[in-house]
Amino acid sequence: MTKRAPIFLAIDCDDLEVALSWVKATQNSVYGFKMGLEFFATFGSEGVRRITDLTDAELFLDLKLHDIPNTVSAATRAVSDLKPRFLTVHAAGGAAMVRAAASAGPNIDIAAVTILTSLSSTDLSDIGFKSNPLESAVRLAQLAVSAGARAIICSPLEISAIRTAVGADVSIITPGVRPSSSGSDDQQRTMDPKSAISEGANYLVMGRPITSAWTEGFSALQDRAATIAAELI
C-alpha cells in the first residue's frame, strides 16, 4: 500500500455517487475522509457506511456535538458503530459534556472544537467571552483535554500556542490549509500544508483545493490528490 499523506479530505458534496467517486480517486493519497453535519443530515449513517464500505481509510465524523452530557453521551454511542477515528464536540459544552463523549466512545478520539474561526473578537465579546480568540481557544483546548478529548481542531494560526498548551500526545487537526498553487476560496487566514505540519499539526483537513479537480474528471482528481499528498510524504 502506498503511504498516505496526513490529510482528511472534506466530503462536502450533495451527491452520494459523486462522493463515492471522490473516495475511490483519492483513497490511496489521503489518510481519511471527513464527513460533516451537511453530509450526515443529507445521507445519514447509511451514507457514511457506503463510504466506509469502500475504503479502509479513517473516518472523521465532524458533527460538532454540543448539548447536555446525557444527550451527547447517547449521540456518541449511536455513532460508535460507524467506528469513526475522530468525532467532534464543542469544547464550550463544558468539561462534563466532553467527559460524557469520551466515556461513551472509548475507542473514538474525541476531537474538541475550540472557537469557530467564523467568530470575530467582537462576536466573542457579544456572547460573553472575556478574552481574545487565541486565549479563549487555548483555554478551551486545555479544558477539553483535561476532560478526555484526544484531539483539538484549530485554525493554522493557533497550532503553535495550542501545541504548547496541550503537549505532544494530543492530535491537532487544522482546516484552512491551502497549497500555494491554489486560491483561498472563502478561507481568510490560510497556511500551506507543509508549514501547518511544521507548526505542529498532526492532520490537515482539505476540501476544495483537491475536490475542485473533479470538474476535469476522475483521473484529474486522482492526480491532484497524489500531487498534494506528495508534498507531505
Q: Is 3 a catalytic residue?
A: no
156 neighbors 190 (Cβ within 8 angstroms):
yes
For 118, phi and psi rounded to 5 degrees?
A: -75, -10
Cell 476560496, located at residue: 185
CB of residue 32 vs ligand C5P: minimum separation in angstroms? Answer: 13
- Residue from 6, 32, 36, 105 binding ligand C5P (CB under 6 A): 36
* Beta-strand runs (E) in the chain: 5-10, 30-36, 58-65, 86-90, 109-113, 151-153, 171-174, 203-206
Per CB under 6 A, the segment of 52-60, 71-79, 119-127, 200-208 that binds ligand C5P is 200-208
Closer of 103 and 134 to ligand C5P (Cβ):
134
Task: Please write down the HEC assignment for all residues of 178-232.
Answer: CCCCCCCCCCCCCECHHHHHHHCCCEEEECHHHHHHHHHCHHHHHHHHHHHHHCC
- Residue from 77, 185, 216, 219 binding ligand C5P (CB under 6 A): 185
Radius of gyration of the chain (CA): 17
10-29 residues near ligand C5P, rule: CB under 6 A: 10, 12
CB of residue 91 vs ligand C5P: minimum separation in angstroms? Answer: 13
Q: Which one of the listed residues 3, 34, 64, 194 is annotated catalytic?
A: 64
Per CB under 6 A, the segment of 138-146, 159-167, 201-209, 213-221 that binds ligand C5P is 201-209
- Residue from 73, 187, 203, 214 binding ligand C5P (CB under 6 A): 187
Closer of 142 and 155 to ligand C5P (Cβ):
155
Greatest extent of the chain over all pairs of C-alpha atoms, in Å: 50
Cell 475511490, located at residue: 24
Q: What is the DSSP letter of 92?
A: G
166 binds ligand C5P (CB under 6 A): no
CB of residue 30 vs ligand C5P: minimum separation in angstroms? Answer: 12
Question: CB 136: neighbour CB atoms within 10 A?
Answer: 19
Q: Which positions are catalytic? A: 64
Interface positions with ligand C5P (CB under 6 A): 10, 12, 36, 116-117, 175-176, 185, 187, 205-209
